[in-house]
Amino acid sequence: MWNLENTYANLNSGLYARQAPTAVPEPHWVVTNPALADSLGLDPAALQSEELLAICAGNALPPGSLPLAQAYAGHQFGNFTILGDGRAVLLGEQRTPSGERIDIQLKGSGPTPFSRRGDGRATLSAMLREFIISEALYGLGIATTRSLAVIATGETVYRQQAEPGAIVVRTAASHVRVGTFEYAIRQGGAERVRELADYCIDRHYPECQQADNRYLALLDAVIQRQARLIAQWMQVGFIHGVMNTDNMSLCGESIDFGPCAFMDEYAANTVFSSIDQQGRYAFSNQPAIGQWNLARFAESLLPLLAEEQATAISLAQEALGAYVDYYQQAWLQGMGHKLGLSEATEADRPLIEDWLTLLEQHKADFTNSFRALAGDAASLAELPPQPLFNQPAFSQWQQRWQVRLAEQTLDQAEVTALMQAHNPQVIARNHQVEQALQAARQFGDLQPCEQLLNHLRKPFSSSPGTAKYCLPPKPAERVRETFCGT
């Protein structure tokens, strides 16, 4: 069942602190993820056992675990800070039946040497939110950390108000972040960065081993994955909310779901996070912030890129310049698929952008409008009508779109299939997430969470009850801000 290794613990001890989780008084299961357990090689039935509960709560260690808190730094809203896992411990890396190496981390597991003023704990709503959002992204086919379980701890944690405490058991291809490199260069210079870069190449980018300049190849590969990831977020209306460099994973998974949200009405400048007063992490800024963060990564790698600093800088700049092309290409292809185009080209950009402009002008629901174009009127019949579709401007756009569709070789059925495979019906709508969290927090009622999760796990298809999860918020239900609520 457990098959833990501890390769991170073999790295220089400056990169982490040995730290066991702190026991909690009365753990119990809140939500579990049997499918994920299965893919990890853990027995899904164990997600009801006292033995696994004790491990997930931090009251016992699994065999082979060498628990540690990782050190890292980060640019938070543009300002550099030394951080580290202040309330998380890595239990180890599970070797899965398919040969993957997956980090098992407890988040909310108590203080660590990196906790600064924090209590090391987490609230039930924040950990449930992480569980829900990560399952939603996973269901949409977007790379993400995942959640094996949320455990209530039996403790009260104090935030704006007293809240039940919880732990999320998070899995990730690894927890190395851009901020880990920023930390390494300051803590141990070029030697430490080399060690970390070699580790990441072995673990995540083995194809870079053959390159003439393996660190430049690593930089380029990380840039490619991030460009693709952020393009995918933009295609489902996902706003991460806190794209600090410590929340950007080296392996290209979405990570750290605080005040993140999916957009209902399309508005490019949408910001949800209550702590993002300047709109730094607004929806439309995400691609540029991605590049800014990658520039911080490139800076940390400079001593490895070339002996001469000037050469290293020019190599880094060139690599960073390619980000825009990777991003634009991924965005164009993805948006093309959403509009039924098998191969979108630069010439299609105005068609796509004009559609987005129409959505914005008519305050149309992002997800439902795309899905309506994909032509399944049946599941949309129960939704409020969208004024957009009665506009002459829409008819004009639709004609251009039809002309473009007719230019390709796909027939109508193939276009519909392509569109339905790339336009979800169900996203984790903020008002529904909040309602589910509230039921859990106030009444201990997990049913709304479970039901929501069931639909988020198959977002492209209808099943009984799907229509409810396609409903945009009524004005009174609208959630305008999400709080970090850690």
Which are the catalytic amino acids?
Answer: 246
Residue 85 or residue 163: which is nearer to ligand AMP going by CB? 85
Binding-site residue total for Mg ion (CB under 5 A)? Answer: 2
Pick 226 or 247: Cβ nearer Mg ion: 247
Residue 121 touches which member of ligand AMP, Mg ion, none, C-beta under 5-8 Å by kind = ligand AMP
- Distance in angstroms (rounded) separating the CA atoms of residues 199 and 149: 28
How far apart are the C-alpha atoms of 249 and 103, rounded to whole Å?
Answer: 13
CB of 459 to ligand AMP, least distance (A): 26
Taking CB atoms, the residue at the shortest distance from ligand AMP is: 118
Which residues make Cβ contacts (< 8 Å) with residue 22, sequence separation at least 6?
A: 58, 109, 110, 111, 120
Q: Which is nearer to Mg ion, 247 or 333 (CB)?
A: 247
| Local structure of 141: helix, strand or coil | coil
Which CB sits closer to Mg ion, 69 or 320?
A: 69
Instruction: Measure Cα distances from 92 to 19, 41, 226, 319, 435 in Å.
Output: 12, 14, 25, 33, 34
Shorter beta-carbon distance to ligand AMP: residue 292 or 460: 292
Question: Which of 78-86, 97-105, 370-378, 383-391 is the region at the interface with ligand AMP (rule: CB under 6 A)?
Answer: 78-86
Q: Give the x/- contact pattern for Mg ion in 231-250, rule: CB under 5 A.
A: ----------------x---
Phi-psi category of residue 99: left, alpha or beta, with phi > 0 → left and psi -120 to 50 → alpha: left
With CB under 6 A as the contact rule, which of the stretches 6-14, 39-47, 111-119, 391-399 interacts with ligand AMP? 111-119
- Smallest distance from Mg ion to CB 106, Å: 15
Other beta carbons within 10 Å of 415:
19
> Mask 341-360, x = binds Mg ion (CB under 5 A)?
--------------------
DSSP string, 278-294: T-TT-GGGHHHHHHHHH
Q: Does 103 bind Mg ion (CB under 5 A)?
A: no
134 binds Mg ion (CB under 5 A): no
Q: Who's near 414: CB < 8 A, 6+ residues apart?
A: none
Q: State which of residues 83, 142, 148, 304 lies at the interface with ligand AMP (CB under 6 A).
A: 83
Q: How far apart are the first and last CA of the chain?
A: 32
Cβ distance to Mg ion smaller for residue 105 or 247: 247
Judged by CB under 6 A, does residue 6 bind ligand AMP?
Answer: no
256 binds ligand AMP (CB under 6 A): yes
Concatenated DSSP letters of 370-416: HHHHTT-HHHHTTSPP-GGGG-HHHHHHHHHHHHHHHTSS--HHHHH
Specify whether the CB–CB gap between 242 and 258 falls below 8 A.
yes
Give whichever of 72 and 205 is closer to Mg ion, judged by the CB atom: 72
User: Least CB distance from residue 462 to ligand AMP, whole Å?
Assistant: 35
Residue 256, interface with Mg ion (CB under 5 A)? yes
Near ligand AMP by CB under 6 A: residue from 39, 59, 115, 416: 115
How many CA within 13 A on the CB side of residue 379? 26
**Plot region of 213 (φ>0 → left; ψ -120 to 50 → alpha; else → beta):** beta
Question: For residues 232-251, which are near ligand AMP according to CB under 6 A?
Answer: 242, 247
Rg over alpha carbons for the chain, rounded to the nearest Å, is 23
Query: Helices H, strands E: what count in the chain?
Result: 15, 13
Q: Which is nearer to ligand AMP, 163 or 220 (CB)?
A: 163
Residue of minimal CB distance from Mg ion?
Answer: 256
Strands 73-76 and 79-82: antiparallel
Q: At a CB cut-off of 8 Å and minimum separation 6, what does 389 contact?
A: 372
Among 121, 192, 225, 362, indicate the residue that binds ligand AMP (CB under 6 A). Answer: 121
Q: Which does 387 bind (CB under 5 to 8 A by kind): Mg ion, ligand AMP, none?
A: none
Nearest alpha-carbon partner for 371 in 236, 483, 210, 177:
236
Site string for ligand AMP, 378-407 (x = CB under 6 A): ------------------------------
> Site for ligand AMP (CB under 6 A): which residue of 86, 303, 375, 485?
86
* Residue 124: both structure tokens together: 């039930």
Residue 228 near which of ligand AMP, Mg ion, none (CB within 5-8 Å, type-dependent): none
Residue 483 per-residue DSSP state: -
Q: What does 115 bind: ligand AMP, Mg ion, none (CB cut-off 5 to 8 Å by kind)?
A: ligand AMP
According to DSSP, the β-strands at 162-172 and 146-158 are: antiparallel
CA distances from 383 to 392, 452, 458 (A): 22, 18, 19
- Count of residues near ligand AMP by CB under 6 A: 16
Positions that interact with ligand AMP (CB under 6 A): 83-87, 114-115, 118-121, 242, 247, 256, 258, 486
In the complex, which residues of this chain contact Mg ion (CB under 5 A)?
247, 256
